[in-house]
Amino acid sequence: MKTSTEKTMHAIALMGATGTGKSALAMRIAKAYKSSIVCCDSMHVYKKLDIGTAKASVEEQLIVPHAMLDCCILPDSFSAARWTKGATTFIRQENKSGRVPLIVGGTGLYLRALTEGLSDIPPEQPDIRERFEHIRKTHGTAGLYRILQEKDVEMAKRLKPADTQRILRALCVFESTGKSLSVWQSQGVGNSAPIECPVFVLDVPRDTLRHTIAQRFHTMLDHGWLEEVKWLDSLNLPDTHPAMRAVGYRQLITHVRRECSLPEAIDAGITATRRYAKRQRTWFTHQTPDAVWGNADQLAPRITKALQT
């Protein structure tokens, strides 16, 4: 493998929907070619959320170095900007050592932030976030949306009235910066580090994926996932926190809170995970037009060839 003397970073992205087997394929390739893995998953960043996120085991991490894993301690919340900064540092270090890391996961927004950059939006002020969280609890999402309609007409037109997380974000940005989120977004992306990163999307037949998702859901429960969910619920995080919105966790929490039976929560969780996988596939179809798609047998030789180039 050649060591680049240019400032351009080099990495290879193996993306795809949840349950397609990305991690297993990446482990096999990284182990064989002494590479490393950059986890591109918005839930893998949270420490102690291990079972329900299908995080790499301690043994796997000893075999292949993993970055952007367990780098955020709850109740803190993570962002695409923080992920991009950490991933950039790691990729540069690997490149200097003559290695090209594999970026592996299903969070397309993180990959796009790395390759295209992000808007230079100043950070939210914590007290403003707390104020709007309080309004949400007392007046619901509808109350937040009414405020957004008064303060930021453009973003109110863009967002659905029930999109709690994005409405909160728009209000917090407006109050923290005095500018609409739409204005920040229109100003283009911030400085993105130059990177050469071919994208491969692992795909499996729909029926196979549906079965795998259901089977994996039950397997994770057998390994103690429900105790992990109980621990997460005990933190009393706001429902809008990214960890509380994670697919599977969100549905099982309703059972922990005695709002439904365990079988009902499981059925809801499996259904939500399948829908999430469908959304991920759609995202990669539209947002990564130059990506190479295929099953594990088709992609493995192409990824290894890219590693050796």
Q: What is the mean pLDDT of the chain?
A: 92
Three-class DSSP category at 199: strand
The sheet carrying 292-294 orders its strands as 66-67, 37-40, 102-105, 12-16, 199-202, 292-294
**Confidence (pLDDT) at 188:** 55
Instruction: Outline which parts of the chain fall under CATH 3.40.50.300.
Output: 9-118+195-308
Most distant pair of Cα atoms in the chain: their distance: 59
The stretch 60-68 carries a mean pLDDT of: 97
Give, in order, the Cα–Cα distances in Å from 87 to each of 68, 118, 274.
Answer: 7, 14, 28
Q: Per-residue pLDDT tens for 202-255? A: 999 999 999 999 999 999 999 999 999 999 999 999 988 999 999 999 999 999
| The overall pTM is greater than 0.85 | no
The stretch 11-26 carries a mean pLDDT of: 97
CATH number of the domain located at residue range(s) 9-118+195-308 in this protein: 3.40.50.300
Radius of gyration over every alpha carbon of the chain, rounded to an integer in angstroms: 20
Question: What are the tokens at 142?
Answer: 């509808």
Instruction: Outline which parts of the chain fall under CATH 1.10.20.140.
Output: 126-186
Between 66 and 7, the more confident residue is 66
CB-based contacts of 135: which residues, under 8 Å, 6+ apart? 143, 144, 147
Question: What are the tokens at 271?
Answer: 């259904």
Is the domain spanning 126-186 CATH 1.10.10.10? The answer is no
The rounded distance, in Å, linking the Cα atoms of 253 and 170 is: 27
